[in-house]
Structure 1
Amino acid sequence: MSDDTDQIRALIERWARAVHRGDLVTVVADHTDDIVMFDVPPPYEGVRGMAAYREVWPPFFRWQAQGAVFALEELDVTAGEDVAFAYALLRCGTPQELAARPGFRLRLTLGLRKDAGRWVVAHEHHSFPDLSTGEPDAESQAETVDQH
């Protein structure tokens, strides 16, 4: 693994721990001033800029303080010379939500750039799978994976 990949992995792991702790200073520390984030809740056109990014976190922290989990389970990083992307799966939900859907995961995709020798997040995207047609069972999930 390259030094850049290690640095990015550490940045994302630090961010995820900070989100879980409700530590806004650390959550925003490695993001660009012109961050663009597409999140699960509105606004659906995303948030743009550091001020807007900061505003979305306190309500999430209040919800999470009621016992919700936010934990990285899988993380993959691909780093070039000055741009990189990463994707991850996270357990995100209350104990009741996670018990009802044990395999349900938040999907995270990050776009990063190197700015003055330091990796920073320029784009962040969170999503959950669409379960409007029903939750797939383990067998159909395995078939889908085999087809790709």
Structure 2
Amino acid sequence: MTDDTAEITAIVNRWARAVHEGDLDGVLADHTDDIVMFDVPPPDQGVRGIDAYARTWPPFFTWQRQGACFEIDSMEITAGDEVAFAHALLRCATAESLRTEPAQRLRLTLGLRKENGRWMVAHEHHSFPDRS
């Protein structure tokens, strides 16, 4: 594992832990001010900027406190000198949902860029497969 890959792995693991713990400051850490996120719930056109990104998390934390999990199942990273991406599958569901659909996983793609020698998340995309 390269130093860049190890650093990005640590960033993603810290972020996922912060999401699971409902720690908004931890979720926002290592994200650029101009982050773009496409999420499962609306708005379909995504959110732009760290303030808009921050506003998306409190409703998720409320839902998660009902006993949902948020944990990385698998992850792969590709890193260049200044740009990288990570894609992962996460368990993001209530215990009830996992009983009825144990294989369901949230898909996560992160785009990162190096700013002043430090990796920062500039793009985030979450989705579930369409099962209709």
Instruction: Give TM-score scaled by structure 1 length.
Output: 0.89
Structure 2 CA distance, aligned partners of 1:98 and 1:130? 16
Shift of 1:79: 0.5
Query: How many residues align structurally?
Result: 132
% identical aligned pairs: 67
Shift of 1:62: 0.5
Q: Which has the larger radius of gyration?
A: 1
Q: Partner residue of 1:18?
A: 18
Structure number having the greater strand percentage: 2
Q: How does 1:59-70 map to 2 (within 5 A)?
A: 59-70=59-70
Q: Partner residue of 2:103?
A: 103
Structure 2 CA distance, aligned partners of 1:99 and 1:17? 23
Shift of 1:48: 0.3
Shift of 1:95: 0.2
Structure 2 CA distance, aligned partners of 1:42 and 1:119? 28
User: 1 or 2 for the larger relative contact order (CA 8 Å, sep ≥6)?
Assistant: 2
Please, which runs of 5 or more residues in structure 1 have no aligned partner?
A: 133-148
Aligned residue type for 1:76: E
Instruction: Give TM-score scaled by structure 2 length.
Output: 0.99
Shift of 1:7: 0.0
Structure 2 CA distance, aligned partners of 1:26 and 1:119? 15
Shift of 1:128: 0.1
* Alignment root-mean-square deviation, CA: 0.3
Moved over 6 A (4+): none
1:80-107 CA distances to partner (integer Å, 9 max, x unpaired)? 0010000000000100001100000000
Structure 2 CA distance, aligned partners of 1:78 and 1:22? 28
Q: What is the SS of the residue equivalent to 2:70?
A: strand
